[in-house]
Structure 1
Amino acid sequence: MSARDAGCRDGDVEWFFDVVSPFAYLQLEQLAACLDPGRVRCHPVVLGVLLEHWGTRGPAEVPRKRVQTYRSALARSQATGVPLRFPPAHPFNPLPLLRLAVAAQARFDAVRQILRFVWRDGGDASDPQQWQSLARQLGLPDAAERVGSEAVKSGLRGSTAGALARGVFGVPTLVVRGEYFWGEDATEMALRTLAQGTAWLHADEWARALDLPVGVSRRA
């Protein structure tokens, strides 16, 4: 079932993202194809803070996993028809772009433009000319001043802290009808839940998975 086939009925959707993730870009383009942007509430978060809090490592921190992650992103780009071009370096410092999203009130269209700048156009936010071009496209000619303001910095910290308080551990994460879906590969499950409700997630083997006992745990 594709995003277009999922029904995409009305309903509020929350979306947690970091611009450092190519999968966030790929997912947002799929959401844009079938959802009313006004129904999607975008929450910029700092992935590094989430990883540190939960004691996990990012895919780019493990050499072979880094390569596999990039290949997986390209494979998903081909499968979904969403064009993808890597930025000059990765990982990169996402803070200026995340703060730019906050300065733009995390509007769907603004977030999409920022993600496209990085992952469709291969943009480099550390390049002053590219930064100014992006800021003009967003209607924020004073972007440099805004992203340096305490209000914007505090807004990003608050958004990240709010995500942690709700148990968000990675990006992208969709919240639909109170259910959490992590990863671009969970897009179809999220859209199915939006269209059909949550009952299917609590029936048969799906229900058993919720309470499956832990057989063994790794020692600290």
Structure 2
Amino acid sequence: MEEADWYFDVVSPFAYLQWKSRARLDGRLRLRPVPIVLGALLTHWGQKGPAEIAPKRLHTYRACQWRATELGVPFRFPPAHPFNPIAALRLIVALDNREDAVDAVFDAAFRDGRDVAAIEVLEEIGRGLRVSDVAGLIGTAEVKQRLRENTETAQARGVFGVPTVALRGELFWGEDATGMLLGFLANPELFQSSEMKALEAIPVGAQRK
């Protein structure tokens, strides 16, 4: 089965929804989880996250809840959002980005609505993953560096948000891009039509100061 890098941050409910509904890829593509820090990504590109824009925040949360129902994915927001995802991301990195680790953290955060920024919650998750000292494991310099390198690599590839699937030199950003990803898998020439190629040459007409 073909594989693609799947860039994500556990703070993203849309990443949770795409991960938990990845069966839609129907055996054609395996997502290889790559944890990155969304906050660093947003700073790099000079953006704000949707939850950082007051009128956009509730709309985004409603969209997540609605989409979860549409997909049939169990969904509950954690007690506060956005939350600090760094420790949870480091736990996944420390466990070599294993799928069961991704599942465990995401399920705690957005299925069960728990605070995965809390070390006691992470310790409980860790016990389920047979980790006896989560605090010690995620505090190592190696783990911190690997997460930093993941994020820097994503930036270098042009990743600007999460979740993003990187496949054959193309980036598919957002849970709502899953349909386009499936279209690309069915037709590798999807972006080679005259209409699609013309999009690459559209000039910038105005820029905000």
Q: Shorter-chain TM-score category? A: over 0.9
Once the two structures are superposed, what CA deviation does each residue of 1:167-211 show, in whole Å capped at 9, x if it has no partner?
Answer: 1111010112221011110011112222332x0122132222222
Q: CA deviation at 1:131?
A: 2.3
> Which structure is higher in RCO with an 8 Å CA cutoff and minimum separation 6?
1
Tell me how far apart the structure 2 counterparts of residues 142 and 162 of structure 1 sit (CA, whole Å): 29
Tell me how far apart the structure 2 counterparts of residues 56 and 92 of structure 1 sit (CA, whole Å): 18
2:20 is the alignment partner of 1:29: yes
Q: Residue type of the partner of 1:162?
A: T
2:202 is the alignment partner of 1:212: yes
**73-82 vs 200-209, greater mean Cα deviation:** 200-209
Tell me how far apart the structure 2 counterparts of residues 163 and 88 of structure 1 sit (CA, whole Å): 29
**156-165 vs 103-112, greater mean Cα deviation:** 103-112
Match of 2:114 in 1: 123
1:34-49 matches, cutoff 5 A: 34=25, 39-49=30-40
2:169 is the alignment partner of 1:167: no
2:66 is the alignment partner of 1:75: yes
Q: CA deviation at 1:125?
A: 2.3
Aligned residues: 209
**47-56 vs 175-184, greater mean Cα deviation:** 175-184
2:177 is the alignment partner of 1:186: yes
Superposition RMSD in Å: 1.8
Ranges in structure 2 where 5+ consecutive residues have no aligned partner = none
Q: Residues 142 and 88 from structure 1, CA distance in 2 versus in 1: closer, same or farther, beyond 3 angstroms?
A: same
Q: CA deviation at 1:136?
A: 1.3
Match of 1:55 in 2: 46
Out of 140, 153, 156, the position equivalent to 1:149 is 140
Q: Residue type of the partner of 1:59?
A: P
Q: Residues 143 and 162 from structure 1, CA distance in 2 versus in 1: closer, same or farther, beyond 3 angstroms?
A: same
TM-score (norm 2): 0.93
Percent identity of equivalent pairs: 47
SS in 1 for 2:81: coil
Q: CA deviation at 1:37?
A: 10
Match of 2:130 in 1: 139
TM-score (norm 1): 0.88
